[in-house]
Structure 1
Amino acid sequence: MDVVDRPALDGARVAPADGAFEGFVRQGTILETKAFTSVSDEAGGYAVPREIDAEIARVLTQASPIRAIAKVVTVGSAGYRKLITSGGTPSGWASETGPRPESATPVFTELAPPMGELYANPSASQAMLDDAAFDVELWLAGEIAAEFARAEGAAFVAGTGDNRPRGFLTQPVSTARDGARPLGTLQYLPSGAAGDFAGAADERLIDLMQSLRAPYRQGACWVMNASTLARIRKIKTGDGHPLWQPGLADGRPASLLGYPVIEAEDMPDIAANAAAIAFGNFTAGYLIAERGETTILRDPYSNKPFVSFYATKRIGGCVADSEAIKLMKFAAA
């Protein structure tokens, strides 16, 4: 009698060889340290596997627009420091045989992004985790990414710097030009009226764009929320052409006066004295410093029958170059 090969029943499936983390998530089984990065079990937790951490990073880049355009550095501790100079090396002219007096020395300033611990604490019932049809890793990555994206997106724009990043909208502001403002103070241009544009809106936007020096305009972009963008999309030039232009290819952002537009929902709406529009080179202007790994603690005891997954990540941020970002403030002056 011939033996017929039959597909295995669904309940007889063999768990994949890389399912150690899934076993930890579902049942709290012991993990092999070699499958994870530097965080040890003696520290009370395990680092997220590389596949899941990459998934979180991808979702964060999509959901947190400032992260996508800023400079992001990975640090090994919370004590990240960066040296910046407030000007170039002065020079002078001399004849062929004339004396060369000593020139001034550039001034160095230490930049220390305020850092805090970003955390998420999603929960699921043990019965849900036991369901073989439930993709635990995808759910966990999505839950953590959603929480982290919401929190960090708000902090990069308007964070206070108290145990969290300092947003660029909380920096001191002034109408003084570059070179005349203290280091760390952003320049703003008034719209001419409280909560509105005074005169031709396109001229105000052009003034804001041109206030950014040419080296920074290479790689610059506009940042505003959807409500402000809806207002901008209705603005037309004197000959009837719209300032806003849609992206010509999939994946490319729309443009305003030739520069891409980034929607950040944490930017304020157009209102009296609100800095609702930013224009700048955020790669040069804003610095994000973060620890490389996300750690997760599995807690099946505190809230039975639910299992909590306490995820943490150290992250900081601040304005690195105050000449690289300009603001439009909807005020008379």
Structure 2
Amino acid sequence: MTEVADGLEASFEAQDGTGAAIARPMLAGSRAPGAAAFESFVRSGVGGLEVKAFTGASDAAGGVAVPDEIDTMIDATLKSISPIRSIANVVQVGSSGYRKLVTSGGTPSGWASETGSRDETATPAFHEIAPPSGELYANPAASQAMLDDAAFDVEQWLAGEIAAEFAKAEGAAFVNGDGTDKPKGFLQATVSLAGDATRSFGQLQYLPSGAAGAFGDDAEETLIDLVQTLRPPYRQGAVWVMNSATLARIRKFRTSAGEFLWQPSLAAGQPATLLGYPVVEAEDMPDIAANSLSIAFGNFKAGYLIAERSATQILRDPYSNKPFVHFYATKRVGGMVSNSEAIKLMRFSAS
């Protein structure tokens, strides 16, 4: 037995003496601490994750905070799937409530001589914006056998599942949400034919297409009129928003000179344009029908506000539906029109 041990020791000494690197399998613990801990939690329910105790409703209830690397993947995927999020003003909040003040009317001024008296000028009107919000959740599941498979990319799967669920719900709510336990979509705002000077704050101006459920005699002029209803300060950064069916009809329109109104992108990564402005396809916009608000044009960075909690919370539930493991993810999101002068709509009606 002593001879065997001496032989092994001599073999190790000979290997070390060559100076060659000894190939050893990498252990899970040698990776980045956050990634290893999260994968251990997802696969087996144990790990060194910090448990938080905060929700908007109760201090005693809480979940497990998603590591930064996972939260980053979810946000990046949401921007590519939910188009309104990518063009709106998104703010991160630390609580369930959010308030924003918006002024209207400007600050009037006046002229006077060098020694003339100065009368008091009017003060801008203040309006409080409080986006309605709700708890956005996803509850994907996987079998324990799939989680045990070492070749399965658990983190990528979890990020993709949550992102797909969140993007689907967000896209519909930002466009047409009723504001009850969810964001209020911009198409749910009160609409009016009145211009910016006379319209009440919070109402969106619409322009009739000239015919019920269709474009009028001159679609090009109607689209140009819609662009011009948006005042110049808002046109910088303005975009068109419509679904694919509406865009398909507009892409066939030609000018009197025979040129297409729609211009394809000339460079990779650049959007196609309509009358010089980018087009965003949002499938939650309604199809063209009688009295439908199927086209929006405006500066959504100035006109629509999204307020969200910065952290996504996940609860791992391996007990409710054995042998499946559920990952219950929640995120609080709110939204509403913040500046009704920055978004214009086209209603497919005669007036």
Q: TM-score range by the shorter chain?
A: over 0.9
Structure 1 alignment gaps of length 5 or more: none
Runs of 4+ more than 3 Å apart: 1-8, 36-44
The answer as to whether partners of 1:37 and 1:49 remain within 8 angstroms in 2 is: no
CA contact 2:52–2:63 (8 Å) conserved in 1: no
Distance 1:32 1:198, change over 3 A: closer
Provide, for residues 139-198 of structure 1, a one-character-per-residue CA deviation record: whole Å limited to 9, x for no partner: 000000000000001100001010110000000001111121110100000000011111
Q: CA deviation at 1:29?
A: 0.3
Alignment length (residue pairs): 328
- Structure 1 residue 245 corresponds to structure 2 residue 258: no
Measured in 1, the distance between the counterparts of 2:301 and 2:132 equals 18
- What letter is aligned with 2:210? G
Instruction: State the superposition RMSD in angstroms.
Output: 1.9
TM-score of the aligned structures, taking structure 2 as reference length: 0.90
TM-score of the aligned structures, taking structure 1 as reference length: 0.94
Structure 1: distance between partners of 2:118 and 2:111: 8
Query: 1:39 touches 1:47 (CA, 8 Å); kept in 2?
Result: no
Answering whether residue 153 of structure 2 is matched by residue 97 of structure 1, we say: no
Q: How does 1:133-144 map to 2 (within 5 A)?
A: 133-144=151-162
Within the candidate set 35, 43, 51, 1:26 is matched to 43
Unpaired runs of 5+ in structure 2? Answer: 1-10
Q: Assess if the C-alpha contact under 8 Å between 1:39 and 1:295 holds in 2.
A: no
Q: Deviations over 1:88-121 (max 9, x none)?
A: 1122222222221211211111110111110000
User: Share of identical aligned residues, percent?
Assistant: 68
Which residues in structure 2 correspond to 1:271-290 (within 5 Å)?
271-290=289-308
Tell whether 2:281 aligns with 1:268. no
1:111 and 1:44 map into 2 onto residues whose CA distance is 29
Of the three residues 298, 301, 311, the one matched with 2:316 is 298
2:135 match: secondary structure? strand
Equivalent residues of 1:26, 1:129 under 8 A apart? yes
Decide which of 15, 21, 27 is 1:14's aligned counterpart.
27
**Shift of residue 303, structure 1, vs aligned partner:** 0.7
Shift of 1:43: 4.1
**Contact 2:234/2:342 (CA < 8 Å) preserved in 1?**
yes
The letter of the residue matching 1:241 is E
Alpha carbons 1:37, 1:293 under 8 Å: kept: no
The residue aligned with 2:188 is 170
Task: Quote how far apart the aligned CAs of 1:59 are.
Answer: 0.4
Pair member with larger Rg: 2
